[in-house]
């Protein structure tokens, strides 16, 4: 049967539903979804494999992060591109679950294809998916565990997320650092008598965690610094390399010769006049430097017989500092850093205290921050300045180390997901047992209770959804090297037995032995909002693809007359 669009435009390119959904036809939607799922299937879980991405310039990136893979991979199939965009949106919203979304959409269309090939209309399957999604979200609310979110539980959450991106030894090393970083920057709870806006706790801002990369040593040397690392050092050889008990002056003031804002000319008739001109230009900058040095002398002044540790002074400026000003600072024993990044200037205030100054007028001790230790670290031709031992850090730095760019990039992607997982858990104040436990429980719930409520052929859609969610534990078992059918049957039998005994036990897959385990006891946790977003996203996209009866090439180029380019 020819497409109706061909009556309007004989040159139109289209794919009919018979081709888009038929079991032995082109299967554009189903094939595209399953093809994309097969690409990312091997990446799921701690035992997943890596993918190597090579760009046009020959640059190599090795990753098992679904978001990186889907956003950088070249995808031409329209269905696969649509699913990839949905999965990337999932990562932007909640920070994880991209691979799960792709797998679940592919499996939903695969299960639907079984019934469509037997003559069931796609709309019937779609109605079943909608009913199953609604009941699945309600079941998720009853299945969540509201546990005490102490540091140990949060470390388990971070480890579960990190172990799917990096090797286990590194995940164990990074998990406590990730948790401590988030807890450090977490705003304090409101006062008991607070009212209005003050009664609400401010959200966690992960931008206050600086991730600094240093190609040095190996990946296990990555560490958390409750301070700030600046990717540049002092620009004068005579400045101190390490100071303690340092006052920090945060500036946004130009300490270098500046040209006038308007075009102007100066005429002189003798060398004395020229010297006066140069001296007056210099005097303008020197006056600013003098005020800073006077402030340093005021706050760092100590009697000779004082037993208190000596005080130091550090200037961190967002704008430039010229060589003569640097020389003046070096003679005064001041460390001066110029052209600091704006984001670091904001973090410095949260870290050290103090107030950033846009002028050197009226400088006083109250505008200064404080740090117990400031030192410079030289690595090859690169210089790094560490600001540590601060009193109340509200910003921290995770220093990522690795022998090469591939390792550093991989750790950076893993840290991003790990930080989001801890943040999500704290804000949700609940957890979902991991290792495929939720999917096993949901499949059982849909197959028994929800299917009884469904009427007529809608039951087929509900059953297809119940079968599709098992793709997560199936893939975990396959990637772990275990027999998929044996693993799933043992998990289902274990869960059914616990239900018959009236228990609410979570049953997940042990990836070391392939046998059932209790993920709550083992500390394997998933995040509530990730599962909620995953269920919502994949059912919506699957219903949309099932409702597609024709794929047309868009654009007006096909309306041009014959022979016209």
Report which listed range, 8-12, 89-93, 363-367, 487-491, is most confident. Answer: 487-491
Q: How many other β-carbons are positioned within 10 Å of the β-carbon of residue 63?
A: 20
Give phi and psi for 87, each to the nearest 5. Answer: -65, -40
Neighbouring residues of 280: CB distance < 8 A, sequence distance ≥ 6: none
Residue from 5, 6, 28, 33 nearest 17 by CA: 28
Provide, rounded to the nearest whole percent, the portion of the chain with pLDDT above 70: 91
**What is the pLDDT averaged over residues 303-317?**
81
Report which listed range, 6-20, 303-317, 342-356, is most confident. Answer: 342-356
Q: How many other β-carbons are positioned within 10 Å of the β-carbon of residue 278?
A: 11
**What is the pLDDT averaged over residues 163-180?**
92
Q: Residue 453: which pLDDT band, with cuts at 50, 70 and 90? A: confident
Read off the pLDDT of residues 33-54 as tens digits, 9 standing for 90 and up: 888 999 999 888 888 888 888 8
Residue from 102, 99, 87, 90 nearest 46 by CA: 99
Q: How many other β-carbons are positioned within 10 Å of the β-carbon of residue 12?
A: 15
Report residue 306 CA to chain centroid gap. 49
**What is the pLDDT averaged over residues 500-507?**
80
Catalytic position from the list 63, 79, 86, 99: 99
Question: What is the helix (H) or strand (E) element at residue 18, kind and residue range?
Answer: helix 17-21
Q: What is the 3-state secondary structure (H, E, C) of 282-339?
A: HHHHHHHHHHHHHHHHHHCCCCCCCCCCCCEEEEEECCCECHHHHHHHHHCCCEEECC
DSSP state of 149: -
Residue 99 a catalytic site member: yes
Tokens of 301: 């002044």
pLDDT at 555: 62
Tokens of 90: 């999932």
Question: What is the helix (H) or strand (E) element at residue 343, kind and residue range?
Answer: helix 342-352
Structure-token match 């995770």, residue found: 398
**What is the pLDDT averaged over residues 144-172?**
90
Q: How many other β-carbons are positioned within 10 Å of the β-carbon of residue 385?
A: 21
DSSP state of 220: G
Tokens of 197: 């806006």
**What is the pLDDT averaged over residues 190-200?**
78
Q: Distance (Å, rounded) from C-alpha 8 to C-alpha 11? A: 9
Read off the pLDDT of residues 356-404 as tens digits, 9 standing for 90 and up: 898 888 888 889 999 999 999 888 788 889 998 888 888 899 999 998 8
CB 252 within 8 A of CB 345: yes
Check whether 18 has a pLDDT greater than 70: no
Tokens of 203: 């959200």
The better pLDDT of the pair 562, 144 is held by 144
CB 64 within 8 A of CB 43: yes
Catalytic position from the list 65, 219, 413, 526: 65
pLDDT at 14: 55
Check whether 327 has a pLDDT greater than 50: yes
Tokens of 256: 């270098």
Residue 486 a catalytic site member: no
Exposure of 476 in the CB half-sphere (CA atoms within 13 A)? 26
Check whether 66 has a pLDDT greater than 90: no
SS3 215: strand
Q: How many other β-carbons are positioned within 10 Å of the β-carbon of residue 244?
A: 14
**What is the pLDDT averaged over residues 329-357?**
88
Q: How many other β-carbons are positioned within 10 Å of the β-carbon of residue 452?
A: 10
Q: Which of 85-89, 235-239, 299-303 has the lowest mean pLDDT?
A: 299-303
Q: How many other β-carbons are positioned within 10 Å of the β-carbon of residue 281?
A: 13
Q: Indicate the Cα dihedral angle 108, 113, 118, 122, nearest 10°.
A: 70
CB 259 within 8 A of CB 356: no
First to last CA, the chain: 30
Residue 397 a catalytic site member: no
pTM: 0.85
Sheet with 209-215: list strands edge to edge. Answer: 209-215, 396-402, 223-225
Provide, rounded to the nearest whole percent, the portion of the chain with pLDDT above 90: 31
pLDDT at 178: 94
Give phi and psi for 522, each to the nearest 5. Answer: -80, -10
Question: What is the helix (H) or strand (E) element at residue 58, kind and residue range?
Answer: none
SS3 387: strand
pLDDT at 26: 36
Q: Distance (Å, rounded) from C-alpha 78 to C-alpha 5? A: 19
Catalytic position from the list 180, 417, 428, 526: 417
How high is the mean pLDDT of the chain?
A: 85
DSSP state of 57: T
**What is the pLDDT averaged over residues 313-321?**
91
**What is the pLDDT averaged over residues 7-20?**
53
Q: Residue-wise over 311-349: b if at least 16 C-beta within 10 A, else e?
A: bbbbbbbbeebbeebbebbbebbbbbbbebeeebbebbb
pLDDT at 479: 92
Catalytic position from the list 30, 79, 86, 98: 98
Residue 184 a catalytic site member: no
Q: Distance (Å, rounded) from C-alpha 117 to C-alpha 121? A: 9
């Amino acid at each position: 049967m020819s497409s109706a669009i061909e009556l309007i435009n004989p040159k139109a390119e289209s794919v009919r539903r018979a081709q888009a959904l038929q079991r032995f036809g082109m299967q554009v939607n189903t094939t595209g979804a399953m093809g994309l799922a097969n690409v990312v299937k091997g990446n799921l879980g701690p035992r997943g494999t890596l993918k190597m991405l090579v760009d046009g310039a020959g640059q190599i990136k090795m990753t098992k992060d679904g978001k990186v893979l889907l956003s950088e991979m070249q995808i031409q199939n329209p269905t696969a591109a649509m699913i990839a965009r949905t999965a990337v949106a999932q990562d932007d919203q909640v920070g994880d679950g991209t691979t799960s979304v792709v797998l679940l959409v592919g499996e939903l269309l695969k299960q639907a294809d079984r019934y469509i090939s037997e003559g069931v209309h796609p709309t019937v399957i779609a109605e079943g998916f909608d009913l199953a999604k609604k009941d699945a979200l309600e079941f998720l609310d009853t299945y969540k565990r509201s546990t005490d979110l102490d540091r140990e539980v949060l470390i388990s959450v971070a480890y579960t997320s990190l172990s799917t991106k990096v090797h286990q030894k590194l995940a164990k090393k990074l998990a406590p650092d990730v948790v401590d970083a988030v807890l450090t920057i977490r705003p304090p709870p409101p006062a008991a008598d607070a009212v209005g806006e003050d009664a609400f706790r401010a959200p966690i801002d992960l931008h206050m965690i600086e991730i600094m990369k240093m190609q040095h040593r190996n990946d296990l040397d990555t560490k958390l610094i409750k301070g700030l690392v600046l990717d540049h050092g002092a620009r004068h050889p005579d400045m101190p390399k390490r100071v303690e008990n340092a006052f920090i002056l945060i500036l946004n003031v130009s300490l270098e010769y500046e040209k006038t804002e308007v075009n102007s000319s100066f005429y002189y008739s003798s060398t004395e006049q020229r010297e006066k001109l140069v001296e007056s230009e210099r005097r303008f900058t020197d006056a600013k430097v003098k005020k800073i040095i006077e402030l340093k002398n005021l706050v760092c002044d100590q009697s000779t017989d004082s037993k208190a540790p000596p005080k130091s002074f550090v200037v961190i400026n967002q704008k430039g500092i010229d060589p003569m000003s640097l020389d003046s600072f070096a003679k005064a024993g001041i460390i001066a850093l110029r052209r600091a990044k704006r984001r670091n200037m904001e973090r410095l205030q949260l870290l050290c205290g103090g107030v950033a100054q846009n002028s050197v007028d009226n400088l006083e001790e109250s505008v200064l921050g404080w740090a117990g230790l400031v030192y410079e670290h030289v690595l090859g031709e690169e210089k790094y300045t560490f600001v540590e031992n601060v009193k109340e850090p509200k910003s921290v730095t995770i220093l990522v180390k690795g022998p090469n760019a591939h390792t550093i990039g991989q750790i950076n992607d893993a840290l991003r997901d790990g930080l989001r997982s801890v943040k999500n858990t704290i804000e949700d104040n609940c957890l979902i047992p991991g290792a495929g436990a939720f999917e096993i429980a949901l499949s059982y719930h849909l197959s028994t209770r929800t299917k009884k409520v469904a009427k007529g052929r809608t039951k087929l859609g509900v059953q297809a959804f119940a079968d599709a969610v098992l793709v997560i534990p199936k893939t975990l078992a396959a990637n772990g090297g275990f027999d998929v059918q044996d693993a799933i049957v043992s998990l289902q039998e274990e869960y059914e037995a616990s239900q018959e005994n009236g228990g609410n036990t979570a049953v997940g897959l042990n990836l070391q032995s392939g046998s059932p385990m209790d993920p709550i006891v083992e500390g394997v946790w998933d995040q509530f909002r990730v599962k909620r977003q995953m269920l919502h996203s994949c059912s919506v996209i699957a219903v949309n693809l099932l409702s597609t009866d024709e794929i047309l090439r868009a654009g007006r180029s096909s309306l041009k007359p014959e022979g016209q380019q």
